[in-house]
């Protein structure tokens, strides 16, 4: 426990429901899309410096807290280190979710705001638990809060990698709880993600005389039909169901691609000499990124050129890790696989067991008019605090030899 501020008595804490709603409205009021997280990072730093907590800022990411004297690194000491992890950025808001507010949807109280489900509800659950000094004093775990930038953008702009490099003891943590939206489930592991640009090469010609060329767009027809009819494969890893998923997410002819600028008005009477399809392969944690690249090359074959433009590894479920087992047993929530990519994968890369658990609704992520049910936020807060207090049996971290 940090001795620089007095412990908070249970009678001093506002009601969980009212406190969580107020925190969420305040947190969502700073609408900071990816790349623009400066203001919300400033607010987080100011909050925790005022509370007397150790604060480290890396870019627009913030690490709050530090291990106590009884922690000796992973598998050492008698107080395992648990990280509470969330991202600060959101996708761009719409006019339906720019202003945070409380509403009733079909007699259910919800908070409507950009990022309400993905993932500011998870952030405030983590922040409330971390700020409860009574809980931290009673917990069998040391707690550290990690709030980082750049999660919603490309993998190379995600600041969690820089955070792990700048604060190396984070990579010795015993468990990372990533509070992404999971519908209140404990979602173990995550899919990997690979983005590939598949370029079909033809020969440009006049559309009145297409026999003078070869239409690269229609050359892609059989490939696109194949993706439409054969794009999902079930995969089981450690008894948990995942799915490999193939998706064509963008397509363009020359001059019209992402980031391209053309000075000419696009014309409609030209047979395109090239046609690019962006293919996103989401792959189960039984596969490496190298495996996924081979899968794309094998599927495309000699029909087109393949360029891998972005990749992020999958993460194993870590189902048998002691603290993962303890978390699952204590919170009593359904256990599934994470059918998406999250930063549990970055923790897996450095050897930290991690899991996904948060109050947000996966179906609301990035939706217009995004919302989260207040009851879900309260339930997640209660369940997380139950684990952090070490309820439900002996803390698994204390069973290590």
87 DSSP β-pair partners: 148
> From the candidates 97, 132, 142, 151, which is the catalytic residue?
151
State both tokens at 248: 């064509």
Task: Return the structure tokens found at 250.
Answer: 């963008």
Q: Closest Cα to residue 50, out of 87, 5, 1, 2?
A: 5
Question: Cα separation of 184 and 379, whole Å?
Answer: 8
89 counts as catalytic: yes
d(CA 177, CA 191): 17
* 3-class DSSP string for the chain: CCCCCCCCCHHHCCCHHHHHHHHHHHHHCCCCECCCCHHHHHHHHHHHHHCCCCEEEECCEEEECCCCCCECCCCCECCCEEEEEEECCECCCCCCCCCCEEEEECCEEEEECCCHHHHHHHHHHHHHHHHCHHHHHHCCCEEEEEEECCCCCCHHHCCHHHHHHHCHHHHHCCEEEECCCCCCCEEECECEEEEEEEEEECECEECCCHHHCECHHHHCHHHHHHHHHCCEEEEEECCEEEEEEEEEEEEECCCCCCCCCCCCCCCCCEECCEEEEEEEEEECCCCCHHHHHHHHHHHHHHHCEEEEEEEECCECCCCCCHHHHHHHHHHCCCEEECCCCCCHHHHHHCCCCEEEECCCCHHHCCCCCCEEEHHHHHHHHHHHHHHHCCCCCCCHHHHCC
Work out the widest C-alpha separation in the chain, in whole angstroms.
Answer: 82
Do residues 125 and 386 make contact, with C-beta atoms less than 8 angstroms apart?
Answer: no
Rounded Cα distance, 114 and 365, in Å: 9
Place of tokens 């060329």: 213
Among residues 37, 53, 89, 321, the one annotated as catalytic is 89
Q: Which residues are catalytic?
A: 89, 151
């Amino acid at each position: 426990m940090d001795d620089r501020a007095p412990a908070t008595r249970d009678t001093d804490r506002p009601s969980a429901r009212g406190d969580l709603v107020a925190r969420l409205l305040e947190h969502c009021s700073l609408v900071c899309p990816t790349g623009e997280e400066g203001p919300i990072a400033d607010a987080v730093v100011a909050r925790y410096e005022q509370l007397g907590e150790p604060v480290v800022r890396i870019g627009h990411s913030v690490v709050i807290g530090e291990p106590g004297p009884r922690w000796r690194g992973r598998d050492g000491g008698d107080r395992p280190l648990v990280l509470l992890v969330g991202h600060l950025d959101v996708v761009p808001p719409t006019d339906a979710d720019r202003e945070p507010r409380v509403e009733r949807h079909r007699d259910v109280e919800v908070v409507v705001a950009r990022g309400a489900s993905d993932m500011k509800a998870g952030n405030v659950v983590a922040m409330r638990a971390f700020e409860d000094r009574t809980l931290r004093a009673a917990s069998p775990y040391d707690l550290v809060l990690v709030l980082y930038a750049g999660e919603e953008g490309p993998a190379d702009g995600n600041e969690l990698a820089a955070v792990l490099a700048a604060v190396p003891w984070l990579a010795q943590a015993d468990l990372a709880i990533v509070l992404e939206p999971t519908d209140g489930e404990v979602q173990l592991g995550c899919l990997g993600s690979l983005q590939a640009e598949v370029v079909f090469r033809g020969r440009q010609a006049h559309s009145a005389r297409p026999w003078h060329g070869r239409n690269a767009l229609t050359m892609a027809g059989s490939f696109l039909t194949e993706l439409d009819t054969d794009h999902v494969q079930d995969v089981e890893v450690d008894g948990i169901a995942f799915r490999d998923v193939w998706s064509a997410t963008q397509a363009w002819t020359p001059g019209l691609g992402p980031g391209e600028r053309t000075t000419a008005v696009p014309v409609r009477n030209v047979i395109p000499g090239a046609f690019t399809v962006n293919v996103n392969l989401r792959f189960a944690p039984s596969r490496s990124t190298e495996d996924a690249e081979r899968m794309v090359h094998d599927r495309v074959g000699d029909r087109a050129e393949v360029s891998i433009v972005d990749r992020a590894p999958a993460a194993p479920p870590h189902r048998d890790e002691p603290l993962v087992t303890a978390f699952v047993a204590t919170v009593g929530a359904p256990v599934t696989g994470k059918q998406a990519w999250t930063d549990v994968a970055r923790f897996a890369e450095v050897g930290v067991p991690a899991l996904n658990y948060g109050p947000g609704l996966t179906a609301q992520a990035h939706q217009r008019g995004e919302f989260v049910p207040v009851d879900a936020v309260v339930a997640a807060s209660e369940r997380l605090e139950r684990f952090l207090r070490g309820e439900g049996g002996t803390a698994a971290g204390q069973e290590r030899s």
